[in-house]
Every structure is written in C-alpha cells, then in structure tokens.
Structure 1
Amino acid sequence: MTEREIRKYIDRLNNGKAGESIFTRQISKTVDVAKVWSKQPKMTDKVTGNFGSYRFFFIRNETNEYVGAVLDMYDDLHWYIVPKKRKQGYLTTALKESILPYLFYDERETQRITIEKGAIGETNYINSKSVAIKLGFKATNEAESEFELRQTDFNWDDENFEEINSEIDSERFEQLRKRAFYAYKTLYKISDELLMTVNDDKELKEVADEVKKYTWKIEDLEWENKKTKG
C-alpha cells in the first residue's frame, strides 16, 4: 500500500468521511485500531481467495487530529506520519505505549519490520531506523534493512493501553441486523437453487440458518451496549 493511499485514509478520518470504509476502536488516548476496506463488496466482484480488510493503527495528536498511521502486515509494519507532523515523537510514543503492546497481547511473539533505504530515501531511513532502535528492535541482517523485536525483550514500562467501545446508535444496529438477514436470505436462495439443480447444497442451508441467528445476536449486542452505558 502506498503512502498516498494511507494519507487518503488519514484525511478521510480528519474530514469525518470514513463512511463504511474505516471502522475504528480506541485503544489509547492517541491511537485507534481500525479495519479498513479499500473497496466495498459488490455483486460483480470476482471470486478470489485473498480478499479481506486491512488492519491499521491511526495516530492522533493532542487536539485529536489524525497525524499518522501504522499498517499491520503481520510480518512487517508500514508506518507513515504526515510530513508537517514528523519528528515530534508521535510515532515512537504510539508504538511503545499502545501499538506494540496491542500486537504482543494478540499473541504475537515477535514483530518484524523492514526499513529499506532504497525504497524510502536516506533521510526517512535514518529517521525510521532511529525509531526502531529506540523501541528495542535489532537488525537481523548486515544491510540493516530487516529488524525484529521479541515480546520478551519489549520494555513494558511505558504501556498505556485502554480499549474503549466506539459510538454506535440504534439505527446503525438495525441496519446491521437487516444486512445479516439479507445475507441469510441470499444463502437460503442459493441453497434452494443448488438443491433443485444438482440435488446437493453442501450443507449451505445449515450455514444460512447460522447466519440468521446473528440477526438476534446483533440485537443482544445492542442491548448489552446500552446496559454498559447505563
């Protein structure tokens, strides 16, 4: 994913235009974990096995303006800070206080990162390497382009991690229930067609029935959410 694309998501959040492409959850005062959908599902989408959302960590400053992001690629982290907000400690603070703790709590034993001078330039390489070293990452190759940090070597002293539910209203819960019900009816219909044409739906109807249950499970989540907020 390019820096231009990442900047686009940061701008959407700052402009209040995340819509249905970015779903965020606060994990500290300055960091939101997020699921980002680069493309919305469509009926005309080709069947592919590598489809999914991206997991991001979006970084905010003292005025709640989003100033950067970290893309979690599991075997690597791709970070980006808005140019005017660089060298102000936002990235280092976010990584040591909440992003790395979040990843390590998620049973990740080792975090690896790649910092290639040829790809990002001399200045960005030096700055990114400095951030990595401060966090405890160690180079694993002679070119110092690959680094890793083990969970057991991470300094937890600065951890400042606290998850908070995002706002969601009754209208949105109802929309989600209707979508789950639509998914149920779609699977049910596919099952009927398969049964009538090839006499076998590979137990798709059972899957549809399980999906239908989520119309009520989502309603339960709404009730639990209201109860939590008192």
Structure 2
Amino acid sequence: MDISRTFYFIKNTEGNYIGIVYNMNGDLHWLILPNYRGKGLLTNALSKTILPHIFQDNRKEQRITIDRERIGDLYYLASLKVALAVGFTIKENNARRTELTIERSKFEKVPFIDGINTSLSDNRKNKIVDKAREITFELFKITSELEMKKGFTYEVEEVKTIAESVKKATDIIYDICWYIKKSNQDIA
C-alpha cells in the first residue's frame, strides 16, 4: 500500500500561494487563506489539476470527510459546496460529518498531468531551516516548563521524545537545504 503524502499548493493569479490541499491518499484536507475564499480558486484547482493528478495513480475513487463538529458550520458548508461543485457525491451524512466520494471515471478524458517540483531560493531555504529550528527550540522550552511544573512523568518524557524527533527532523531539513544549494552551485 502506498502511504506517500502529497501537498498541492494553490496560487492566485498574481502567483502568490493562497492555499493548500493535503492528499492523505484516503482523504483530502484543504485550507484557503481567508481573503481568497469564495473566489473559486480551490474549486478550479481541484477540478482542473489536483483531482486529475490524483487519479493518475490508478485509484478508483477519492474520498473526503467533512467534519462539522471539528470545523464548525460555516467551514463545513463552504467545504461541502466546493466538494459538490467539483463532482463529489454524498455517501454518508449525519449531523456530525459527511463522507463524500468521487469516481475516477469523471477524469478519464483529462490529459496526463506531470507534477512540477520547483526549486527553493536561498532566502526560502534559510527561512525553512530557521522555522524548523524555532519549532525545535519551542518544543524543548515547553518540555522544560512542563518538567519544572509537573516533575518527571511519562507524559513529559513523551513530549521530550517528540522534541528530540523534531530536532532530528530539523537536522535532516538543514542537510536537504544544504544539498539543494550545493547541487545548484555544481550545475552553475
């Protein structure tokens, strides 16, 4: 079973990133910045690019779950409107959540879409590394504060383990950004 995860970043007409769709294979999650909601950008991206690309992996259907309790009535109705507009159909519906699916057959005549990975500027790579370090620092700070207030407990140790994992991920992010920079210099 393929457990890869894909993020689709959505741009507006000026080329600014205004949203994201997270493909968790069994489900999709999306978020659009508030100023860009209701303008059809998500609907357009889903129907013209994201869903056709998702169905290129021989998937028969795509499911989404919209959880009213988790996101509230306003965002529930907005997400439901988008899902229905791009062709999802309701499979299960109750007061708490709605499950919808869309069939691959809706995209059989869409040409093959090849994803494009874009390079990162040095400025963006530095911001990514700085943000990862900041998150790591905050987690260790939280761990220390919990330890001072609560003492050494299993729960505090779990938070510390997570902080250490994030620190390892930060080191990997740094290595990746360094490798990208080195590869770009070798090509030039």
Is the shorter-chain TM-score for this pair beyond 0.5, marking a shared fold?
yes
1:103 aligns with 54
Q: Which runs of 5+ in 1 are unaligned?
A: 1-51, 169-221
**Which amino acid letter does the alignment assign opposite residue 131 of structure 1?**
V
**Which amino acid letter does the alignment assign opposite residue 80 of structure 2?**
K
Q: 2:98 aligns with which of 141, 145, 150?
A: 145
User: Within the alignment, does 1:89 sit opposite 2:40 as a pair?
Assistant: yes
**Which amino acid letter does the alignment assign opposite residue 73 of structure 2?**
E
**Which amino acid letter does the alignment assign opposite residue 92 of structure 1?**
T
TM-score of the superposed pair, with normalisation by structure 1: 0.46
* Deviations 1:101-146, CA, capped at 9 Å, x for gaps: 0000121111000001111111111111011111111111132610
Are the structure 2 counterparts of residues 106 and 160 from structure 1 closer, same or farther at C-alpha, using a change threshold of 3 Å?
A: closer
Measured on the aligned residues, the alpha-carbon RMSD in Å equals: 2.8
1:154-169 equivalences in 2 (<5 Å) = 154=107, 161=113, 163-164=115-116, 166-167=118-119
**Local SS of the residue matching 2:93:** coil
2:78 aligns with 127
User: How far apart in 2 are the matches of 1:54 and 1:153?
Assistant: 23
* Deviations 1:44-82, CA, capped at 9 Å, x for gaps: xxxxxxxx8742101001111000000111110000001
Q: Which runs of 5+ in 2 are unaligned?
A: 121-182
**Which amino acid letter does the alignment assign opposite residue 24 of structure 2?**
M
**Local SS of the residue matching 2:54:** helix
Are the structure 2 counterparts of residues 156 and 84 from structure 1 closer, same or farther at C-alpha, using a change threshold of 3 Å?
A: farther
Instruction: State the structure with more CA Rg.
Output: 1
Flag as ranges the 4+ runs of structure 1 deviating above 3 A: 153-157, 159-168
- Asked if the contact 2:8/2:22 (under 8 Å) is kept, the reply is yes
1:153 is displaced (CA, Å) by: 3.3
2:6 aligns with 55
- Asked if the contact 1:136/1:154 (under 8 Å) is kept, the reply is no
- Asked if the contact 1:97/1:161 (under 8 Å) is kept, the reply is no
Aligned residues: 119
1:160 is displaced (CA, Å) by: 9.1
**Which amino acid letter does the alignment assign opposite residue 122 of structure 1?**
D
User: How far apart in 1 are the matches of 2:35 and 2:62?
Assistant: 28
User: How far apart in 2 are the matches of 1:82 and 1:136?
Assistant: 23
| Overall identity of the aligned pairs, in % | 37
User: How far apart in 1 are the matches of 2:106 and 2:5?
Assistant: 27
* Deviations 1:170-228, CA, capped at 9 Å, x for gaps: xxxxxxxxxxxxxxxxxxxxxxxxxxxxxxxxxxxxxxxxxxxxxxxxxxxx9xxx8xx
* Deviations 1:134-164, CA, capped at 9 Å, x for gaps: 111111113261000010134857x794544
User: How far apart in 1 are the matches of 2:46 and 2:106?
Assistant: 15
**Which amino acid letter does the alignment assign opposite residue 105 of structure 2?**
T
Are the structure 2 counterparts of residues 121 and 106 from structure 1 closer, same or farther at C-alpha, using a change threshold of 3 Å?
A: same
